[in-house]
Amino acid sequence: METSKPTTVPEGCAAGPGLVQVYTGNGKGKTTAALGQALRARGRGLRVYLIQFFKMRETGELLANKKYGLFDCYSAGRGFITGKPAEEDIRAAAEGLERAGRILSAGKYQLVILDEINNAVAGGLLSSADVLAAVAGRHAGVEVILTGRDAPQEFIAAADLVTIMESAKHPLDEGIGAREGIEY
């Protein structure tokens, strides 16, 4: 399925026509890159909405957001899932995608980040077709970023920009676990 590329720019949107970005791969930095994009957008006066799939831990980005009010956000799920997802997980992801569809189509935000949505599709919580339908229904000028490992080929084909993060070396390889303020 091909996503539609808006050709007109809403008043007050400095971003130009909204494109689709995908940050994927097994390396660290996908969410970090998306948040860097959010910071840049906020610096230029754009409105940002972050929906996190698979993250329920109070992450550093959510703590900073509480303190500084940089963007609007929503958590869609109970956290990372191993094994078969429970009905509750599927329902939470579906509610998150429904919210994403409303946010994307309303045009109130110029940047919408669907964090870890690639994982939600790879884990069987959502279908790639449903995600692409929500993305295709976005308002003109809305940029969307899809993050997470295992991006479906349909996302990669539909995207205007794809960045694949590779892990050449990682502290986990040396037994160093996730660090507060650095990895979360």
Q: What are 90-131's pLDDT values in tens digits?
A: 999 999 999 999 999 999 999 999 999 999 999 999 999 999
Q: In this model, does residue 13 exceed pLDDT 70?
A: no
Q: Which residue has the tokens 């509610």?
A: 95
Give the 3-state secondary structure of residue 118.
Answer: helix
Count up the domains in the chain and report the number. 1
Q: Please state, in angstroms and rounded to a whole number, the distance separating the CA atoms of residues 18 and 1.
A: 17
By the 10 Å C-beta count (0-12 exposed, 13-18 middle, 19+ buried), 179 is classed as: exposed
Q: Rounded distance, CA 62 to CA 58, Å?
A: 6
Question: Is 179 contained in some domain?
Answer: no
The answer to whether residue 181 is domain-embedded is no
Domain ranges, residue 132: 20-167
Q: Work out the pLDDT band at 173, boundaries 50, 70, 90.
A: confident
Flag whether 172 is in a domain. no
Please check whether residue 45 lies inside any domain of the structure.
yes
Give pLDDT, residue 127. 97
pTM above 0.75, yes or no: yes
Going by C-beta distance under 8 Å and a sequence separation of 6 or more, which residues neighbour residue 138?
6, 18, 104, 105, 112, 144
| DSSP 8-class letter at 77 | S
In-domain check, residue 142: yes
pLDDT value of position 39: 95
Which pLDDT score is estimated for 10? Answer: 47
CATH code, domain carrying 79: 3.40.50.300
Q: Distance (Å, rounded) from C-alpha 25 to C-alpha 167?
A: 8
The whole-chain average pLDDT of the chain stands at 88
Residue 54: pLDDT above 90?
no
Q: Look at residue 11 and tell me if it is in a domain.
A: no
In a domain, 155, yes or no: yes
- 5, part of any domain: no
